[in-house]
DNA sequence: TAGATTGTTAATCGATTAACAATC
DNA sequence: TAGATTGTTAATCGATTAACAATC
């Protein structure tokens, strides 16, 4: 399954939650496509991939769709996340995810600043860097978020992977290198802003975002 | 020019800055590729696209490369950015970009909270929502960052575009719809984290991040 | 039935990769 | 010269798009 499809499934699910809340029972592929900003053909192909099917007259059942996507995307028992670097951005992300997805919860923060260690931010306890290996192993954390400064991001990534993390969301503006079986998703805000500025100046050309 | 190439150029430039600081005069495509996490063929093709050429013996001149990429990516006179929604995430982003790229500066923040209006965050003045049109026009802002809550992101996008913005970096977890000539880049942290969690659990498969 | 939608198959498109000649 | 790298061309790959039969 390609990363693009996984991303679209996540978007569909968010839209389905909204439709469920409004009591909508069925949706057509072109309706989801309009809401998600993609094509109806993509929606149908993606939904087939997770084992959902619709009918020509009624489209897809919202509740069934939500259930299928969730079964596909989520781990049944939930997954735990660690966040390393409880600075401005780290705390903003802790606040952002607080209570948002109970099955994918940030259960531990880490920081080298003794002032932050022991405190709780948006319901998440901050530990020292030295405690990382034991905390990650005990809580069976397999996802890490790096909001540490660029100059220590690689070291942090190594420590996370060493403790058992298999996926990293990297906000530090550096390319980190890890073992092949670890998935790294870079979220480089500088790169994103420069790209937006480029297309804002040049006209959209063919930018796909 | 595809959005992927623009993103890689931005990464190359960051690496070149570092090399310049270390006094490195030349680089080979495979060296940049290793640092950027892409292939040497991609690097050579991207650099050709911005009009740079290298030699078999010395590779590429770092200074010349930096200059070419900058001339390609940056607006000569610089570009101004507005940020709407000076909450936790907005303030973290203001702090992150503060002084980072002088040619691409966040010159105004906007928030509906009267407590924030008139104050300065990381050197950026916060204005009221009512002032958006006039401030954006007077400062010739053509890039917007949306860090407002999801339920008003679409409205904010409409206001930004109405005031003349041609590119939007959207951190709100909703798909926003704007005119075709406006470039929108979504940065959906929920989608990103769910994708990382998915691959962390399933093994990397073919995730390209 | 009529008609819009679904799901499948083929065609297209773009980007990446591989192969190779040119070059310093 | 020898050899690694550059730049070009062809092949491959994946995803998207288009066309169409099946379906409710």
Q: Do A200 and B165 touch (CB under 8 A)?
A: yes
* Closest residue, CA to C1' of C22: B56
| Residue B204: per-residue pLDDT | 53
When pLDDT is averaged across residues A191-209 and rounded to a whole number, the result is: 77
Euclidean distance between CA atoms A13 and B151, whole angstroms = 17
Q: Do A3 and B209 touch (CB under 8 A)?
A: yes
| Residue B206: per-residue pLDDT | 36
Pairing of the two strands B141-146 and B167-170: parallel
| Segments in chain B below pLDDT 70 | 204-209
Q: Are B75 and B105 in contact (CB under 8 A)?
A: no
Which of A155, A70, A165 lies closest to A108, judged by CA? A165
Task: Give the sign of the dihedral formed by CA B198, CA A180, CA A192, CA B121.
Answer: positive
Which chain B residues have a beta carbon less than 8 Å from that of A11? 175, 188, 191
Chain A: residue whose CA lies nearest to B178: A37
Nearest Cβ partner for B196 among A169, A188, A198: A169
Pairing of the two strands B120-121 and B124-127: antiparallel
Nearest Cβ partner for A181 among B169, B180, B204: B204
Q: Are B165 and B144 in contact (CB under 8 A)?
A: yes
C-alpha dihedral (A189, A190, A191, A195), degrees to nearest 10: 100
For the question of whether the overall pTM of this predicted structure is more than 0.85, the answer is yes
| Residue A209: per-residue pLDDT | 38
Q: Do B91 and A89 touch (CB under 8 A)?
A: no
Judged against a pLDDT cut of 80, whether residue A135 lies above it is answered with yes
Determine what percent of chain A is predicted with pLDDT higher than 70. 97
Judged against a pLDDT cut of 60, whether residue A175 lies above it is answered with yes
Which of B94, B80, B93 lies closest to B163, judged by CA? B80
Q: Are B165 and B82 in contact (CB under 8 A)?
A: yes
| Residue A206: per-residue pLDDT | 36
Q: Do B201 and A75 touch (CB under 8 A)?
A: yes
Chain B: residue whose CA lies nearest to A148: B96
Chain B: residue whose CA lies nearest to A97: B190
Tokens of B75: 């607006």
Alpha-carbon distances of B110 from A24, A163, B167, rounded to whole Å: 35, 42, 17
Euclidean distance between CA atoms B103 and B96, whole angstroms = 15
Which chain B residues have a beta carbon less than 8 Å from that of A201? 75, 79, 142, 166-167
CB half-sphere exposure, B125, CA atoms < 13 A: 9
Instruction: Report the distance from CA of residue B28 to the C1' of nucleotide D3 in Å, as an integer.
Output: 15
Q: How near does any CA of chain B get to the CA of A144, in Å?
A: 9
Confidence class for position A208, pLDDT limits 50, 70, 90 = very low
Tokens of B12: 């190359």
Report helix angle A3-21 to A40-49, nearest 10: 100
Alpha-carbon distances of A163 from A136, A172, A178, B196, B203, rounded to whole Å: 6, 20, 13, 17, 17
């Amino acid at each position: 399954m390609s990363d693009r499809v996984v991303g679209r499934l996540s978007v569909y699910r968010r839209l389905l939650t909204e439709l469920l809340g409004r009591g909508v029972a069925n949706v057509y592929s072109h309706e989801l496509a309009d809401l998600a900003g993609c094509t109806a053909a993509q929606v149908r192909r993606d939904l087939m991939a997770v084992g959902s099917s619709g009918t020509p007259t009624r489209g897809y059942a919202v509740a069934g769709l939500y259930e299928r996507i969730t079964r596909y995307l989520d781990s049944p028992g939930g997954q735990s996340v660690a966040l390393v670097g409880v600075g401005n951005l780290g705390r903003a992300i802790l606040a952002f995810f607080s209570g948002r997805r109970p099955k994918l919860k940030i259960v531990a923060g880490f920081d080298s600043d003794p002032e932050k260690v022991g405190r709780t931010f948006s319901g998440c306890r901050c530990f020292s860097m030295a405690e990382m290996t034991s905390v990650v192993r005990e809580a069976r954390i397999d996802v890490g978020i790096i909001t540490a400064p660029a100059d220590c991001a690689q070291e942090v990534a190594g420590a996370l992977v060493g403790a058992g993390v298999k996926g990293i969301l990297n906000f530090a503006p550096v390319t980190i290198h890890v073992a092949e079986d670890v998935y790294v998703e870079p979220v480089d805000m500088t790169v994103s802003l420069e790209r937006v500025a480029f297309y804002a100046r040049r006209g959209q050309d063919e930018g796909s975002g």
